Amino acid sequence: NALDGSQNPALLCESVVNTDEVAGKIALVNRGTCFFEEKTHNAEAAGAIAVIICNYDDNAIGMLGTAEEDPTIPAISLSSSDCARLRMALANGETVTASIGIPEDSGPLTVSSGFDNGIIAHEYGHGISNRLTGGPTADGCLFNDEQMGEGWSDLFTIMLTHRPDDSAETPRGIGTYADRQAADGRGIRRRPYTSDLDVNDHDLDDIIGTTAPHPLGEVWATAVWDLYWRMIDLYGYDPDLINGTGGNNKTIQLMMDGMKFQSCNPGFEDARDALFTADAINYDGIHECLIWEVFARRGIGYSMDQGSRFDRNDNVKAFDVLPTCLQELKIAKTASSDLVEAGATVEYTLVVTNHKEEAVTGVIVEDELPDGLSYNAGSVTGATVEDLGDRLRFDLGTLAAGDDLTITYTVTTDVNRPSVTQFFDGLENGDQNWDFEAPSGFEIWGQTTNNVFAGDRAWFVRNTGETNDQRLIMREPITVTGNNPTLRFYHDYDTQPAADGGYVQISRDGGTVWEDVPEAFIRNGYRGELLAPTLFQPGIQVFWGNSNTYVGSYIDLTAYQGETIVVRFRWASDDETPGIGWYVDNFEIMDKVAYEGEACVMSNEGDMACDRVAQGGVIIESNISVNTEEVVRDPEVLQVYPNPAGDRLNIALTSGINGQLSVELVSVNGQVVRQWTEAQLPGQLLPLDVSDVPAGFYVVKVNTERGIFSEKVTISR
């Protein structure tokens, strides 16, 4: 494996760093980002004698030359699955040798498919699946966009040609004989069938963005093939395909009966659930949890969402199993809201469930109260509570098998601890903070008033049926400070699934090297991978599909603490089906305040489980830093309404404050946009005219005889 010093070292677009391992050997590198000649040139400079360039798809490709470099060593392309085998051998310390030349048994590249028994079995399989699906009177129930007919046919082929010495990891291809490949070759599918995730990593997302029926079948057949081998692990293999009782026989029976029980035009969820029905009828449901485990491994788990069975692009994968299959004592913690103002009340819900087969005794729950949260005495329901200061303790006693118990209580957040805005751009001031790059395409980023999160404007890039690579880049770098630095932006997207999408990149050096940050998302992260041909690079995580509305995404910037960074939004599309595009609004870097206390349950039997509120806990809404220790937020002293406000804003103060006031309306970037000096209170209510103030987020600062008080307000039109 030849590696460079970049964020994606296997691409070898920069100089080799492991020259000692490369010199005198064949260098293994990945396709993507830079030209083939550049990769080969870098390998040759490190002493490599040849280069294998691994494709991101499971086929080899021709490699046209366009770069300035002119290496002299040979280079070939290999499929991703072939490269996976090479890398596995290298990881095991094996020595791999290779040669480039014409095989001794050279002859026709392909032979007639009529001589390939696997292809014949596959085609016969269509007759079976079409006649069984939808009931005995139907024979046209596999024509919807999510039907899996090709998968069942592939399964007939690989099950009927199983050899006794095969294993779950043995690759099995379709059409290998017709393509003059070995039986363990890839054949005519994207991946060979195997339970080895290094060779076949298909999951539910791999049907999205496809158009032919075969990719649907590949993913379905991969999951059922995994089940086939798990059943063989339980019951062994029986070569008698008619009267046998092995795990292979039982899986074939489940598959055949599952087709009978599924509805006409089934989707993945329908077909999976039909297997449960078949298992319940044939085997009293004893394999239910095994089936859940197998399908969850491929993203077809308990929480997956099939969407419409007439649309393969709206599935949402999940890797969890039926909860009762995990026979444990469990706890789940949720909050009434995951984003609140400082000083707000939050209700927590704790659900304790005993999924063990026996009762548990001495059950205790302890839930942390992080600094800044105040427990509201008397608010608990469902259990008795002991307030220990930094945590609450609940004594539940005995919990019978299968029972659950729900506890709720409320807390109040610290009114003086909002998240602090360090940089904010509501995108109302044109492009003063942003630059553009358009390496390809003409649909550049622009401002729109048609769909905004707040204020009057948002950034927008259109999703046309054309190739685009468009970048929106911060003009001035910003230094990351604070205890919990976080980037937040609101966005709304509707794109061609998998093929078109947007993502965020960060640069530490002013824009020379850009880093992808998929693992840094705290909330509302990427939908999935972008198809490799869109940017000729695999594995890029992006926002694609339909968010349905504006969502707030949060990126943890702790890794950049103390550094100066630049952020950019990058949009990529291919030259096929268009969508609507990507809207971005309210870009903010803040020092985030969040409450992420952990709740744990314990028992006398030694059980212990813990949980937190998902997606970063309860986040406290940001408030501008007004750079004075005198400023205090106190809703019992200062109230601002209506909020959001239109043309008029009312300031209400407690009756204990008298005299003249000084009022400022401050934008979130620190500018004073309006002032009312020596204002008199007509009673305890001061009406202010804000009809000429642009829509957006502001802070009202009121200077009184008792100090300076502040409150955040939104002005909308």
123 is catalytic: yes
Q: In Å, what is the CA distance from 417 to each residue of 83, 219, 337, 710?
A: 53, 49, 17, 13
Q: Is 187 left (phi over 0), alpha (psi -120 to 50) or beta?
A: left
Catalytic residue among 123, 169, 476, 705: 123
Q: How far does Cα 626 stand from its chain's mean position?
A: 36
Q: CA 629 to CA 53: how far, in whole Å?
A: 60
Question: Residues 6 or more apart from 113 whose CB is under 8 A from it?
Answer: 119, 175, 178
Structure tokens belonging to residue 486: 């976080």
Q: Are 350 and 396 in contact (CB under 8 A)?
A: no
Kindly tell me the burial class for residue 137, based on how many C-beta atoms sit within 10 Å of its own C-beta (0-12, 13-18, 19 or more): exposed
Of 516, 503, 510, the C-alpha closest to 472 is: 503
Cα separation of 252 and 267, whole Å? 20
What single letter denotes the amino acid at residue 392? L
- Cβ neighbours, 10 Å, residue 656: 10
Identity at 199, one-letter amino acid code:
V
Number of Cβ within 10 Å of residue 102's Cβ equals: 6
Contact 369, 597 (CB under 8 A): yes
Instruction: List residues bridging with 589 in a β-sheet.
Output: 423, 487
640: left (phi over 0), alpha (psi -120 to 50) or beta: beta
Dihedrals phi, psi of 366, to nearest 5 degrees: -125, 130
CA distance 365 to 361: 12
Helical H runs in 297-383?
A: none
Using alpha carbons only, how large is the chain's radius of gyration in Å?
Answer: 31
- Partners of 522 in the beta sheet? none
| Nearest CA-CA partner of 71 in 101, 50, 98 | 50
SS3 462: strand
Supply the residues annotated as catalytic: 123
